């Protein structure tokens, strides 16, 4: 009996070593340790052994059983990890290869300047308004005191949108300036008012280094019972000083826009040469900045505001041109060219 057990152990261990996969191993386990397995049958026969042999053979049988169980378990783990390795080898992944850096974009210089302008005016108590880019002739012209036959209509070459439009508002156009939103804001909120309106404008004109057919403006409008051009001057000087982090002076010259009276052209002292004269200010010490003036009483009326009780001032400057000045860009068309080599510099 003792020999039989030893032979069985040897035979089984050899077979376990040879087993090449888990399926084969399982079959062997059933063959030797299963309910009708070779060792199980021997163990069952123990009860028929003579009494004196029972303890010795019993002990030996248990030892053989434990050895075989251990051998099966070890081999099982070996085969399993070999299987995982095989799978991993199939999908080889080299963790030492350096990663690919993700390309990160950044805010366009015009948008960044717009955010700064909005922040500064918000700090001074101005609300930020928005209006439609496709606008009616009424809001773009008539409401702003520019009647159909007024020569000022020639000042802004316009993109007209196909269609007849309606009697009051006329045809649709791509807005030529942000000023139409002055009336929309007055109609909606009444007086007093303190707003800026940044936005995109369109003009049907030949492009050159300082003119594009699409560009950004920022409109400003303040309506109150007692306000004057002195307030406008103070607000603009404060705005530019905060924007350039340098003291900036403002200069008014007479100008003409049908929607303001009196009308002004506003210049500011060159932020680069501090007024001494340089390339950016064309050696004048001053930079032409924008149109402005006291809101014409007809415009206040268009906005439904009592012009006897309230006055207002308005301004409109080119955000795109200010971006060019700030970064000393000499061709406006580069800003919307989609040329990444150019735009990545900012």
CB of 145 to ligand FA5, least distance (A): 11
For the stretch 1-9, contacts whose Cβ atoms lie closer than 8 Å and that sit 24 or more positions apart, written own/partner, are: 1/42, 1/49, 1/53, 1/57, 2/56, 2/57, 2/60, 4/42, 5/42, 5/57, 5/60, 5/61, 5/64, 6/64, 8/32, 8/38, 8/39, 8/42, 8/64, 9/64, 9/67, 9/68
Q: Is residue 314 near ligand FA5 by the rule CB under 6 A? A: yes
Question: Residue 146 and residue 275: Cα distance in Å, rounded?
Answer: 36
- The answer to whether residue 139 forms part of the interface with ligand FA5 (CB under 6 A) is no
Beta strands 286-295 and 260-269: pairing type?
A: antiparallel
Q: Is there binding between residue 181 and ligand FA5 (CB under 6 A)?
A: no
Nearer to ligand FA5, 61 or 114 (CB): 114
Q: Is 172:163 a contact under the CB 8 Å cutoff?
A: yes
268 binds ligand FA5 per the rule CB under 6 A: no
Number of residues that bind ligand FA5 (CB under 6 A): 23
Closer by beta carbon to ligand FA5, 9 or else 135: 135
Handedness of CA 14, 17, 18, 21 (dihedral sign): positive
- What does the block give as tokens for 345? 């510099």
Interaction of residue 202 with ligand FA5, rule CB under 6 A: no
Find the residue with minimal CB distance to ligand FA5. 318
* Smallest distance from ligand FA5 to CB 303, Å: 13
Task: Report whether 182 contacts 144 (CB < 8 A).
Answer: yes
State yes or no: residue 177 binds ligand FA5 (CB under 6 A). Answer: yes
Stretch that binds ligand FA5, among 26-34, 69-77, 209-217, 225-233 (CB under 6 A): 209-217
**Closest by CA position to 143, among listed 261, 323, 328, 304:** 304
Pick the closer one to ligand FA5 by CB: 143 or 291.
Answer: 291
Closer residue to ligand FA5, CB minimum distance, 69 or 261: 261
Closest by Cα among 185, 133, 137, 177 to 156: 177
The one among 158, 217, 302, 323 contacting ligand FA5 by CB under 6 A: 217
Site string for ligand FA5, 288-307 (x = CB under 6 A): --xxxx--------------
Q: Which two tokens stand for residue 35?
A: 């309910």
* Tally of CA atoms within 13 A in the half-sphere of 218 that contains its CB: 24
Least Å from the CB of residue 133 to ligand FA5: 14
**Binding of residue 179 to ligand FA5 (CB under 6 A):** yes
Q: Tally the C-alpha atoms within 13 A of residue 278's C-alpha that lie toward its C-beta.
A: 12
**Shortest CB 155 distance to ligand FA5, Å:** 7
Binding of ligand FA5 at residue 281 (CB under 6 A)?
no
Examine residue 130 and tell whether it contacts ligand FA5 (CB under 6 A).
no
Angle between helices 229-244 and 109-123 (to 10 degrees): 130
Contacting residue, 131, 258, 303, 316, with ligand FA5 by CB under 6 A: 316
Task: Give the residues lining the site for ligand FA5 (CB under 6 A).
Answer: 177, 179, 203, 205, 211-212, 215, 217, 219, 257, 260, 290-293, 314-318, 320-321, 332
């Amino acid at each position: 009996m003792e020999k039989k057990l030893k032979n069985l152990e040897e035979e089984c261990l050899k077979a376990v070593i040879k087993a090449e996969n888990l399926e084969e191993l399982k079959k062997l386990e059933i063959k030797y340790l299963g309910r009708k397995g070779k060792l199980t049958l021997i163990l069952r026969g123990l009860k028929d052994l003579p009494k004196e042999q029972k303890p010795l053979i019993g002990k030996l049988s248990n030892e053989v059983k434990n050895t075989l169980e251990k051998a099966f378990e070890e081999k099982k783990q070996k085969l399993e990890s070999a299987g995982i390795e095989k799978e991993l080898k199939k999908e080889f992944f080299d963790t030492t290869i350096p990663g690919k850096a993700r390309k990160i974009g950044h805010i366009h210089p015009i948008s960044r300047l717009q955010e700064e302008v909005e922040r500064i005016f918000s700090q001074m108590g101005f609300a930020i308004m928005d209006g439609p880019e496709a606008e009616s002739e009424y809001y773009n012209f008539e409401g702003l005191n520019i009647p159909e036959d007024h020569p000022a209509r020639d000042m802004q070459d316009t993109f007209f949108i196909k269609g007849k439009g309606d009697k009051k508002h006329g045809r649709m156009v791509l807005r030529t300036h942000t000023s139409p939103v002055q009336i929309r804001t007055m109609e909606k909120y009444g007086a007093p008012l303190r707003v800026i309106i940044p936005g995109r404008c369109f003009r049907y004109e030949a492009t050159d280094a300082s003119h594009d057919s699409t560009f950004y403006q920022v409109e400003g409008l303040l309506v109150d019972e007692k306000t004057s051009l002195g307030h406008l001057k103070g607000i603009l000087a404060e705005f530019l000083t905060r924007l350039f982090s340098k003291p900036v002076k403002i200069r008014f010259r007479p100008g003409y826009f049908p929607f303001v009276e009196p009308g002004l052209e506003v210049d500011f002292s060159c932020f680069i040469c501090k007024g001494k004269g340089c390339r950016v200010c064309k050696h004048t010490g001053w930079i032409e900045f924008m149109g402005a003036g006291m809101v014409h009483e007809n415009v206040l009326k268009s906005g439904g505001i009592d012009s006897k009780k309230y006055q207002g001032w308005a301004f409109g400057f080119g955000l795109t041109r200010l971006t060019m000045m700030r970064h000393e860009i000499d061709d406006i068309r580069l800003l919307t060219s989609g040329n990444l080599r150019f735009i990545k510099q900012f």
